[in-house]
Structure 1
Amino acid sequence: MYDVAVIGGGPAGMAAAIKARELGLSVILIDENDYLGGILPQCIHPGFGIHYFKEELTGPEFAYKLMNRLRDVEVRTSARVVEIINYSDIEKRLKVISPSGIEEIRAKTIIYAAGARERHAFEIGITGDRVAGIFTAGEAQTLMDIYGIMPGREILIVGSGDVGLIMARRFALEGARVKAVIELMPYPGGLARNVMILNDFNIPLYLSHKVVEIRGKGRVQRVKIVKVDENLREIPGTEFWVDVDTVIISAGLIPNVKLLTKVGVAIDPSTGGPIVNDRLETTVPGIFVAGNALVINDLVDYVVEQGELAAEGAKEFIDNDGIRSRKWTRLIKGENVRFVVPHYLSGDRDVWIYLRVSRPMEDVRLEMPEIGKRMRLPIVKPSEMIRIKLRGKDVKGVDKITVRVVK
């Protein structure tokens, strides 16, 4: 029986496995892909590793640096975990399918780092013909950067998240014509540095618009777009059509938690990921979670940070036959806070908390009135995660902490 079974070989999973091994634990790392790295190998643009490695790297370079540190870790690729069995608080069992057959793997703890999935066209209300030429942004990125296949030449991108904006640049660099980026909200969904990409390549950005229909014979030929009001309702008479051969859906990510819900892990509807304490332990003892399976992160550096924290939690669990009982302080989302993670703090340690606002604001204060913490911020955006360190001594003995962002 292993001390730790890590599910997912992306940056969170690799970081968790590396840290767990450094802490003296026996580790197995399981990933369903043929290679490790998660989405990093297809992210050939720079911008990774500035915080963690103190240098700017491409996605493949970041993954390679982590892989080189996977010493004494048993790795299984092309292996899919299809079931988690909570055999007892101190023993978990994984049902794994691989080319060699079906096997059961036993471990004292699990670190779940299976990442997220992309929203598809039907989830965002697009109707019309079922034709070729409709891809999620991740699918298009995989085709281009892993397999060298150009998905199309006349491109419309739905959603202004970071991946969609990066793909707009990627298509433009390959000589495709990006007709427009369509964004439902009245503000862009990506980081400011990625929104600037559109100006660099003269790509139109339509805010407060949505794609409602796709038409074509065999392949996409045209797309119907309509403007929406402040309540996101369609405005009659504002419809127009754009001729394209390819539609790229970049409508956000959802934590991939299906296996966790089947084993009884409680999910936070605000994040779509599990409810966790400051060890990143879920509501099922001995199951920890990190990376985009926990919450959708902006930076891979945060993902790695969470993987290491989950490994430290697993070490504490194994050494003490569980995370010892204590009075937990609950983090509560207040005004203009969409979510805050982790959900429960022990006060035993300093801890990073991650949050996003519900709407953009300028010249604001982030407040936690119960502990007297205030922090002035010049601007906050839903697209940019806020990361703050709380000192354990400030949390100790407090029943709850409300996090709010106010003018």
Structure 2
Amino acid sequence: MLNYDIVIIGGGPAGLGAAVEAYEKGVKNVVILERDKYLGGILQQCIHNGFGLQEFKEELTGPEYAQRFIDKVEEYGIDVMLDTMVLEITPDRIVKAVNSEKGVFQIKAKAIILAMGCRERPRGAIMIPGTRPAGIMTAGTAQRYVNMEGYMPGKEIVILGSGDVGLIMARRLTLEGAKVKAVVEIMPYSSGLTRNIVQCLEDFDIPLLLSHTVVEIHGKDRVEGVTIAKVDENREPIMETAQYISCDTLILSVGLIPENELSKQAGIELDPVTGGPVVNDMLETNVPGIFACGNVLHVHNFLDNVTAEARMADNLAIMFIREGCFKKSYISVKAGKGICYVVPQRINVDNIDKRIKFRMRPTDVYNNAILAVKSGDRYLLMQKRIRLTPGEMIDVNLSKEILKNADEKEGIVFLVEEG
């Protein structure tokens, strides 16, 4: 049985940020468990720039951003176990794992930080009819082929879904000589950042077909084409609008899911909307001493926010180690009209220092709307927002003074009202 103060599961941006923060705050008995053969996670295949503007005040590529933290991990001598698969987490904070060096082993942790990231939804999750030829893959797989393995997935490409990775790959594949014929999105709005729509589609004259979906895949050995159609307000295909697009590759960018199989085993409560753990204002799950941060908690738009959240989770884990359990009398935080989810889902005002940041996503596109915070019939805050879109996360900072006015029984509710 190994013993560590903090065990961090995942060596991507969240795990690296948490480990470095722990060391710099004086907790040096820390270990990172990473199932891949190298640190950095998904950043290693994100060779486009745009990372690090908040964290480092300069624009970096994904590998450059990761390397800044990897260098610190090596400089500080933080323990890292690569090519290590975590098998189980128990509620009493015992981590069971396996690797080729140690075989199956166990670690007793004073605190655990979940930083496993997220995975992509595959074809099976969206039930597209048709054959199962080669040439169908997720956007992340295509990104790895092109940026790390040096392979082109195809020459004529249709992308289903307008998630950020799909948008970025539309540009990347175009730059590599492929013809991206269309990006097809079932919703009436894009699920990606506005800047990615402009820089990756509009700048390269790639069509974005909103309120459309793929209704059939053609081809036996290799994709030969897809049939797309408009959808109605219930997202059902209108077959009279069907059109055929010839292509040899279909790339799926249809959403990300927090990686929480280990969390389920540990008895951690999961939010049915985010797919991540339900956490309090200390980023602690319902299992004492187990914290979550980054994309395993909820899917973020900006990498710098993942790092900031990881630092916060680590500081709170250190508080748990030094001070013991946090206060357990919480008030609920809920998503109301126009809001998909809110994180954290419960708070204790006494735990909050000066203010706390809530993160959420709207359910639809709103222009000149009011973002309101209510407790019962009482408004705690009203903010005018010029534009809200599901592709971009909303940050709301609430002070402790405002939260003191919340009714403990009613909790607080975030909602969108027409301007």
Shift of 1:251: 0.2
| One-letter amino acid of the structure 1 residue matched with residue 312 of structure 2 | L
Number of the residue aligned with 1:343: 345
| One-letter amino acid of the structure 1 residue matched with residue 416 of structure 2 | V
Shift of 1:328: 1.9
Number of the residue aligned with 1:162: 164
Shift of 1:230: 1.2
Does the CA-based 8 Å contact 1:345-1:395 persist in structure 2?
Answer: no
- State which drifts further: 344-353 or 59-68: 344-353
Find 1:143's aligned residue among 128, 142, 145.
145
Shift of 1:321: 2.4
CA separation in 2, counterparts of 1:131 and 1:109?
46
Shift of 1:217: 2.2
Number of the residue aligned with 2:135: 133
CA separation in 1, counterparts of 2:239 and 2:144?
37
The answer to whether 1:358 aligns with 2:394 is no
Does the CA-based 8 Å contact 2:173-2:180 persist in structure 1?
Answer: yes
DSSP 3-state at the match of 1:284 = coil
Number of the residue aligned with 2:96: 95
The answer to whether 1:273 aligns with 2:276 is yes
| One-letter amino acid of the structure 1 residue matched with residue 66 of structure 2 | A
Find 1:58's aligned residue among 47, 61, 66.
61
Number of the residue aligned with 1:286: 289
- Per the normalisation by structure 2, the TM-score is 0.94
Does the CA-based 8 Å contact 2:35-2:82 persist in structure 1?
Answer: yes
- State which drifts further: 140-149 or 99-108: 99-108
The answer to whether 1:373 aligns with 2:381 is yes
Number of the residue aligned with 2:255: 252
Gaps of at least 5 residues in structure 2 are none
CA separation in 1, counterparts of 2:238 and 2:150?
40
Tell me the alpha carbon deviations over residues 152-182 of structure 1, each in whole angstroms, 9 at most, x when there is no partner: 1111101011110000000000000001100
Report 1:188-203 matches (<5 A).
Answer: 188-196=190-198, 197-203=200-206
CA separation in 2, counterparts of 1:403 and 1:207?
28
Does the CA-based 8 Å contact 2:182-2:207 persist in structure 1?
Answer: yes
CA separation in 2, counterparts of 1:212 and 1:36?
39
The answer to whether 1:34 aligns with 2:47 is no
Tell me the alpha carbon deviations over residues 129-151 of structure 1, each in whole angstroms, 9 at most, x when there is no partner: 11111110000101111111111
The answer to whether 1:206 aligns with 2:209 is yes
Tell me the alpha carbon deviations over residues 320-342 of structure 1, each in whole angstroms, 9 at most, x when there is no partner: 2222x243232111110000101
Find 1:396's aligned residue among 404, 408, 412.
404
Number of the residue aligned with 1:182: 184
| One-letter amino acid of the structure 2 residue matched with residue 353 of structure 1 | F
CA separation in 1, counterparts of 2:10 and 2:280?
21
Segments of 4+ in structure 1 off by > 6 A?
none
Shift of 1:318: 0.8
Does the CA-based 8 Å contact 1:329-1:395 persist in structure 2?
Answer: no
- Per the normalisation by structure 1, the TM-score is 0.96
CA separation in 2, counterparts of 1:18 and 1:391?
28
CA separation in 1, counterparts of 2:412 and 2:220?
56
Report 1:199-238 matches (<5 A).
Answer: 199-238=202-241
- State which drifts further: 134-143 or 123-132: 123-132
Gaps of at least 5 residues in structure 1 are none
Number of the residue aligned with 1:383: 391
Does the CA-based 8 Å contact 1:362-1:378 persist in structure 2?
Answer: yes
DSSP 3-state at the match of 1:372 = strand
DSSP 3-state at the match of 2:299 = coil
CA separation in 2, counterparts of 1:5 and 1:288?
10
Tell me the alpha carbon deviations over residues 186-235 of structure 1, each in whole angstroms, 9 at most, x when there is no partner: 11111111111211111111111111221212111111212101111111
Does the CA-based 8 Å contact 1:125-1:212 persist in structure 2?
Answer: no
RMSD of aligned C-alpha atoms? 1.2
Shift of 1:356: 0.4
Find 2:306's aligned residue among 303, 307, 315.
303
Tell me the alpha carbon deviations over residues 21-49 of structure 1, each in whole angstroms, 9 at most, x when there is no partner: 22222100011111111111111111111
- State which drifts further: 163-172 or 146-155: 146-155
Tell me the alpha carbon deviations over residues 227-264 of structure 1, each in whole angstroms, 9 at most, x when there is no partner: 10111111131112111111110001000101101111
The answer to whether 1:108 aligns with 2:110 is yes
Does the CA-based 8 Å contact 1:52-1:301 persist in structure 2?
Answer: yes
Tell me the alpha carbon deviations over residues 93-123 of structure 1, each in whole angstroms, 9 at most, x when there is no partner: 1111112222112211110000001001111
| One-letter amino acid of the structure 2 residue matched with residue 84 of structure 1 | I
Number of the residue aligned with 2:82: 77
Report 1:4-19 matches (<5 A).
Answer: 4-19=6-21
DSSP 3-state at the match of 2:223 = strand
| One-letter amino acid of the structure 2 residue matched with residue 180 of structure 1 | A
| One-letter amino acid of the structure 2 residue matched with residue 367 of structure 1 | A
CA separation in 1, counterparts of 2:394 and 2:59?
21
CA separation in 2, counterparts of 1:140 and 1:211?
19
DSSP 3-state at the match of 2:268 = coil
| One-letter amino acid of the structure 2 residue matched with residue 393 of structure 1 | E
The number of equivalent residue pairs is 402
DSSP 3-state at the match of 2:311 = helix
DSSP 3-state at the match of 2:41 = coil
